């Protein structure tokens, strides 16, 4: 379960070398010689990077290895309910149909050659990401996606006036669970829909590369949807078809799995309603603690990331052993939808056990909630953006 200092330093160097080719300054966040990781005691044998052998396929990102702003492709988190399909790129076509004036098929080369090709830094988080022992908030990663605008493709095809939703369908198939189809061994493409206005958002894109390389197979090669600021279940992988429709799409993973009970204020008191999970919530997490000798004493640095929400991250604070909240140093933003790395340095850690926590505040003044505060507004096994309390053991 341990991660050596040498391994972490080596990984950090490998994870940042390509950034200069994309015009992004390399992070100075990698561990340096003399840095010594402090052991987290909240990791147990329940946590595995490769969290399952079968379906659903799950790979967590080990936050203790967060030594660069961009997550290396081979460590990027993975969660998908279906079998990952293989694709012949020469035969691949993206089909756009339904309520459009001009249905089209696009080859991968046609998509890559479009004039609005761009790079977008985006943090992806699974809506099921949580601090529970098997996950340790590892369903989370950050990278630079290369692709083209979804809006330009929809406008080129001419969306009809009666259109209401846009459905994105992958090449991966899933068994239909409706009773009418059970005896027929019926399968349908895995899919997700969003309202038309969300699909037409200028930041929505179709991505074919991650961190300067073609999409890894498990990240949706050759093409996937990227909706910056939305939870991962919306970012359909192995994208092969876009259907524009005039009613709700109710695929089983959209209307059965990805819902939260939310409290709505009314004059009579809270009203709890089942609502779809959509955009990410503001969150921060402590990823690592290191120490180094400074002036004959140990100096400790608590580091992590903050991301999500409808307003930019304004501040991150750290609490040690239920003490006063202390302001951390937050790196400058590198994109509207990318996480921001932060750190706090202190000497106030005596040998023995300690409890640490971080909380983010956004530009609107919203503060990351405690678990108790969160449960007053959301009751769900997903969307856990509460303050995560970590435990460590400091040696002599």
CATH number for the domain that contains residue 370: 2.60.40.650
Largest separation between any pair of C-alpha atoms in the chain: 73
257 is a domain residue = yes
62 is a domain residue = no
Which domain does 334 fall in, by range? Answer: 283-394
- Both 309 and 197 in one domain: the answer is no
- Both 366 and 232 in one domain: the answer is no
- Both 380 and 346 in one domain: the answer is yes
58 is a domain residue = no
- Both 226 and 323 in one domain: the answer is no
51 is a domain residue = no
pLDDT, residue 201, reads 98
pLDDT in tens, the chain (396 residues): 343 434 433 444 444 555 665 556 555 577 888 899 999 999 999 999 987 656 678 999 999 999 999 999 999 999 988 888 988 999 999 999 999 999 999 999 999 999 999 999 999 999 999 999 999 999 999 999 999 999 999 999 999 999 999 999 999 988 766 656 555 667 788 999 999 999 999 999 999 999 999 999 999 999 999 999 999 999 999 999 999 999 999 988 888 889 999 999 999 999 999 999 999 999 999 999 999 998 889 999 999 999 999 999 999 999 999 999 999 999 999 999 999 999 999 988 999 999 999 999 999 999 999 999 999 999 998 999 999 999 999 987
- Both 211 and 332 in one domain: the answer is no
- Both 112 and 227 in one domain: the answer is yes
71 is a domain residue = no
pLDDT, residue 1, reads 39
42 is a domain residue = no
- Both 181 and 313 in one domain: the answer is no
104 is a domain residue = yes
- Both 234 and 102 in one domain: the answer is yes
Among candidate residues 195, 230, 262, the one where a domain is terminated: 262
173 is a domain residue = yes
- Both 245 and 306 in one domain: the answer is no
pLDDT, residue 22, reads 56
Among candidate residues 202, 228, 262, the one where a domain is terminated: 262
Instruction: Give how many domains the chain has, as a whole number.
Output: 2
- Both 386 and 288 in one domain: the answer is yes
pTM above threshold 0.85 = yes
CATH of the domain at 122: 3.90.420.10
- Both 252 and 292 in one domain: the answer is no
- Both 220 and 304 in one domain: the answer is no
Among candidate residues 208, 232, 262, the one where a domain is terminated: 262
- Record the tokens describing residue 320, joined without a space: 């040690």
pLDDT, residue 296, reads 85
């Amino acid at each position: 379960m341990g991660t050596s200092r040498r391994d972490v330093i080596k990984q950090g160097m490998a994870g940042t070398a390509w950034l200069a080719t994309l015009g992004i300054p390399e992070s100075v966040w990698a561990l340096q010689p003399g840095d010594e990781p402090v052991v987290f005691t909240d990791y147990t044998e329940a946590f595995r990077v490769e969290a399952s052998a079968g379906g659903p396929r799950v790979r967590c990102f080990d936050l203790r290895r967060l030594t660069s702003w961009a997550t290396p492709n081979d460590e990027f988190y993975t969660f998908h309910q279906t079998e990952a399909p293989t694709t012949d790129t020469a035969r691949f076509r993206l089909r756009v149909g339904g309520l459009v004036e001009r249905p089209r098929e696009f080859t991968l080369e046609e998509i890559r050659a479009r004039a609005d090709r761009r790079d977008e830094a985006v943090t992806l988080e699974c809506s099921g990401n949580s601090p529970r022992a098997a996950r340790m908030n590892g369903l989370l990663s950050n990278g630079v996606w290369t692709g083209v605008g979804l809006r330009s493709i929809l406008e080129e095809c001419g969306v009809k006036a009666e259109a209401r939703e846009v459905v994105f369908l992958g090449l991966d198939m899933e068994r239909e669970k409706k009773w009418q189809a059970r005896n027929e061994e019926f399968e349908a493409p895995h899919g997700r829909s969003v309202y038309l206005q969300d699909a037409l958002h200028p930041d929505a894109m179709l991505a074919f590369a991650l961190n300067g390389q073609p999409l890894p197979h498990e990240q949706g090669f050759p093409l996937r949807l990227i909706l910056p600021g939305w939870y991962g279940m919306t970012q359909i992988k192995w994208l092969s078809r876009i259907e524009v429709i005039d009613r709700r799409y109710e695929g089983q993973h959209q209307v059965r799995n990805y819902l939260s009970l939310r409290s709505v204020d009314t004059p009579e008191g809270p009203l709890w309603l089942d609502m779809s999970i959509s955009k990410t919530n503001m969150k921060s997490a402590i990823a690592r603690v290191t120490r180094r000798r400074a002036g004959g004493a140990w100096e400790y640095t608590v580091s992590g990331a903050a991301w999500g929400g409808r307003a930019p991250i304004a501040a991150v604070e750290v609490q040690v052993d239920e003490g006063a909240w202390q302001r951390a140093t937050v790196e400058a933003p590198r994109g509207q939808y990318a996480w921001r790395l932060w750190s706090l340095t202190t000497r106030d850690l005596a040998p023995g056990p300690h409890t640490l926590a971080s909380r983010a505040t956004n530009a609107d003044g919203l503060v990351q909630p405690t678990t108790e505060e969160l449960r007053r507004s959301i009751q769900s096994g997903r969307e856990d953006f509460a303050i995560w309390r970590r435990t460590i053991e400091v040696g002599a």
